[in-house]
Each structure stands twice: as C-alpha cells, then as structure tokens.
Chain A
Amino acid sequence: MIETFECGDTGALVAYLYEEGEPEIREVIAGHLTRCAACSSEIDGLRLTRQSLQAWVPPMPELTLQMPVPTPARMPWWRAPLPAWAQAAAAVLIFGVGLSVGLVRGDVNAPPQEPSPQPVATTTIDTPSRSDLSRLEQRLRTEMAQMRTTAAPPVRQASSDDDMMKKVEALVAQSEERQRREFTLRSVEMAREFEAQRRIDMATVRDTVGQFQGVAGTEIRQQREAIDRINNFIRVSQQAR
C-alpha cells in the first residue's frame, strides 16, 4: 500500500509530532519536511511548545492516602468476654456462695456425732454425711482452682493492655510530630515559592511600569511637538499680519 501525505494535513502532522501512526506514513512525512519549509517550521514550533510544557511541574506534596481497614463487627454484650475485674468478682461471689452453703450445712471438721434416737429418715435430710462434705469440699477446691486459672490471664492481659496503650500513645506522638514537621516543611517550601513568585511579579510590574513610562513619554513628546507646531503657526500668522 502506498502511503500519501497531503501538505497541511494537521492530523498527520500531530501524529508525526507524537511519533504515533504507521511507520510508512511517518517516513513520507519526514521526507516531505525536508522539502517543505512551511510544514518544517510548523513542526519545529510545535516541538518548542512541547518543550515549554515540560516546565510546568505541579508542586508535589507528601500524599499519604490510605483506605481505612474495615473494623470487625462488634459482638453482642452477652457474648463478649468479661473484663478481668468482672471475672475476679464472679470468682469471689461463687466462692462466697460455696462457703455459705458449707457453713449452713455444718462444721465439716467436727467429730462424728453419736447416732441420735431420732428417726433415720430425718437424720439423712438435715445433716449431710462426711462423704457428702468431702465431695463438696473437693468440688469447691476444684472450682476455685479453675477460677484461679481462668482469672490469672486477665491480669496478664491488663498489663499487656497497658503496654499496648503506651505503644499506641508513642505512635500517636510520633505521628503528630511527623505531621507537624511535614506541615512546617511544606510551609517553608511555600514561603520559598512565594518569594520566587514575588520576584516574578516585581519583574512584571517593572516591565509594565517601564512600558507605561515609555507610552507616557511618547505622548508627552507628541503633545509638546503639537504645542510647538501651534506656537509656530501663531508666530508665522502674526508675522504675516
């Protein structure tokens, strides 16, 4: 296929400028540019414009965008683990209840009493046997041991909570310090840019004032020349009379 290029085809020139399009047509355009001064000048001008565009650099602040990590759904209160103090209180309460039951039922260490003349059925109801008390004692000891083992970790948890809190506070303090520092650095950068902009503005103002003075000077000179011409005209008229 023979690629053609028509002089002044701006679309093809833009594609050539950005090095897009088919290589064949680009070769054709390159050949055309060696012969056509108008197209060649156009391309040079656009290239210089592109070069100027590279000077436009946006100020790049420290961007720290982060998506928040979704927090897990809160458990219902009745399923949430109890705090350490509540577990300890529950342990004390259970111990107290067990102790009360034991005291109400009688002295466990008292010597066995002589069989009373009361009916056997009544005795079995009111006074528990030694084996019953032993079982109760054993059960209470077991429960207390379990409570001790379950109540102990929360104490360690509390101390690890304190450590965690200290770490979080330290991290927050570091973060605040870093933010303050970044903010100040940015402010300083802005101050520098402001100074640079001020110099540019001053230069622009000087140019403008210079132009204005030039224009004003020209006008004054023209007015003086006009006045001189009028004076000459009046002088010549008076002399003619």
Chain B
Amino acid sequence: MTRTDEELVARSRTGDVDSFNQLVVRWERPIYALAYRVLGREEDARDVCQDTFLRAYRALPGFKGQAKFSSWLYRIALNLCRDWIRRQQRAPVSQMPEDMDPAALLAETEPAESIEDLVARRELSAIVAEAMRSLSEEQRTAIILKEYHGMTFQEIADMQGCPLSTVKTRLYQGLSQLRRQLERRGQGVAELVKRT
C-alpha cells in the first residue's frame, strides 16, 4: 500500500526512519533535477540534494504541515542552491578504478539512441542550458519550477515570496529572452527541436 506524503511525514515525526527514507526515495530525483538546473553541476546538485534531506530530517519536528511537504522540500533546496551559488564551491573529481575495462562496459551499455541523435540532444540541451544562464536567478527559478516541476503560478509565488503578477512577468520576460537567444542561433535550433 502506498502511503501519502502526509502519512509518511506523520510517521517520520514519531521517529520512524523507514518512513522518512520512503519520502527520500520519492522526492530525491525531483530535488536533484531542480538543484542541477539551478546550479548546472552534477556534484553540486548531488550535495545540495543530500543536504536538503538532512535539513528536512532535522527540521521535521518543526514542520506543522502548513504547506505541502514537497513545497517545503523545494523551498529548502532553493535556499541551499542560493547559498551554494554564493559560495561557489568546487568538488574534487574522482578517478576510474584501475581494474575496470571501460571498453567492455561501453559495449555492454551501448544505448539504443544513435550518436547523431545523442549529439543533437546534447547540443540542444547545451544551448538551452547556456541560454538559461543568461537569465536572472529569479526568472530562471520561476521557469524551472513551472516547466520542470509543474507548479502553479500561486505555488511559485509562495516559493519566491512575491506577488502572483510578478511570477507571470518573470515567466514572460524569461521566456522572451530565451526565445531571442534561441532565435539568434538561427535555423539550427528549430532543426534540433524537430530531431529531439
């Protein structure tokens, strides 16, 4: 039987760690994706994701359910992202184990997607990521919450602490700027959109 977030939160507040771990499994990917799109680096996003759940776990006794659990998590993650952007820390890069054969594993994990499609997708993804970086933090966050996390205008307004009309303005101006950036790239982007 699948329990709701509210039920799992109530159990977690009584010290049931398994219930909280179920919440982690349910929400770790959306939180990671949010952090990645805001920060742009995989390692940083992973760290922020982990910190988000640790903070949520510690702050759980103070969570009275006045907002949705997911909204509360998103808010923690966004605050951490903001701190992370300010600090601009960098994590060390790890190395490949010596006794592993990358070629064998590559053959084993060869995807169905052709390299051309992969290149097209990656190229468009890189173009979009670069265009997103040109937006202000508020515009970028509003677009990410709307496009990739399906929040309503009101939820974004609550999350960003601004009026609903401001959210609409941020979305419109952000999308318009993205549109100009992509149009500047010309016909190539339209073809990539078709291909992906």
User: Known contacts A15-B153, A48-B179, A69-B17: does B36 contact A58 (CB below 8 Å)?
Assistant: yes
- Measured between beta carbons, the chain A residues less than 8 angstroms from B169 are 10-11
User: Known contacts A10-B172, A52-B189: does B115 contact A46 (CB below 8 Å)?
Assistant: no
Interface pair A52/B17, CB less than 8 Å apart: no
**A54, B119: Cα distance in complex, Å:** 16
User: Known contacts A14-B171, A184-B96, A184-B97: does B121 contact A55 (CB below 8 Å)?
Assistant: yes
User: Known contacts A53-B147, A56-B132, A58-B45: does B100 contact A11 (CB below 8 Å)?
Assistant: no
- Measured between beta carbons, the chain A residues less than 8 angstroms from B37 are 56, 58
- Measured between beta carbons, the chain A residues less than 8 angstroms from B162 are none
Partner of A59, one of B42, B153, B192, B196: B42
Count residues of B near A (Cβ-Cβ below 8 Å). 61
Most buried by B among A15, A65, A185, A197: A65
Partner of A46, one of B45, B97, B119, B175: B175
Q: Identify the closest chain A residue to B37 (Cβ).
A: A58
Interface bits B133-166 vs A (CB < 8 Å: 1, else 0): 0000000000100111000110000000000010
Interface pair B179/A45, CB less than 8 Å apart: yes
- Measured between beta carbons, the chain A residues less than 8 angstroms from B148 are 53
Interface pair A55/B32, CB less than 8 Å apart: no
CB of A77, distance to nearest CB on chain B (Å):
27
Indicate whether A61 reaches chain B with its CB closer than 8 angstroms: yes
Interface pair A65/B171, CB less than 8 Å apart: no
**A68, B33: Cα distance in complex, Å:** 23
User: Known contacts A65-B53, A184-B97, A189-B109: does B128 contact A53 (CB below 8 Å)?
Assistant: yes
Q: When A and B form their complex, what is the total count of cross-chain residue pairs whose Cβ atoms lie within 8 Å?
A: 137
**A68, B106: Cα distance in complex, Å:** 34
Interface pair B28/A191, CB less than 8 Å apart: no
Q: Identify the closest chain A residue to B20 (Cβ).
A: A67
Indicate whether B122 reaches chain A with its CB closer than 8 angstroms: yes
Interface pair A46/B176, CB less than 8 Å apart: yes
Interface pair A187/B32, CB less than 8 Å apart: no
- Measured between beta carbons, the chain A residues less than 8 angstroms from B147 are 50, 53-54
**A50, B153: Cα distance in complex, Å:** 16
Interface pair B172/A11, CB less than 8 Å apart: yes
**A53, B94: Cα distance in complex, Å:** 31
**A187, B132: Cα distance in complex, Å:** 27
Near B by CB (< 8 A), chain A positions 68-110 give 68-70
CB of A64, distance to nearest CB on chain B (Å):
9
**A14, B190: Cα distance in complex, Å:** 22
Interface pair A67/B105, CB less than 8 Å apart: no
Partner of B182, one of A14, A52, A191: A52
Interface bits A197-237 vs B (CB < 8 Å: 1, else 0): 10110010000000000000000000000000000000000
Interface pair B179/A46, CB less than 8 Å apart: yes
User: Known contacts A56-B129, A180-B97, A196-B118: does B49 contact A65 (CB below 8 Å)?
Assistant: yes
Interface pair B125/A70, CB less than 8 Å apart: no
Indicate whether B67 reaches chain A with its CB closer than 8 angstroms: no
Taking Cβ atoms with an 8 Å cutoff, the residues of A that contact B are: 10-11, 13-15, 18, 20, 45-46, 48-61, 63, 65-70, 180, 183-185, 187-189, 191-193, 195-197, 199-200, 203
Q: Which 7 A-B pairs have the closest CB atoms?
A: A58-B36, A55-B124, A184-B100, A11-B168, A56-B128, A49-B179, A10-B172
26 A-B pairs whose Cβ atoms sit less than 8 Å apart in the complex: A11-B165, A11-B169, A13-B172, A18-B171, A20-B152, A46-B175, A48-B179, A49-B178, A49-B182, A52-B128, A54-B196, A55-B196, A56-B129, A56-B132, A63-B49, A67-B21, A67-B57, A183-B94, A183-B97, A184-B96, A185-B105, A187-B100, A187-B102, A191-B106, A196-B122, A197-B126
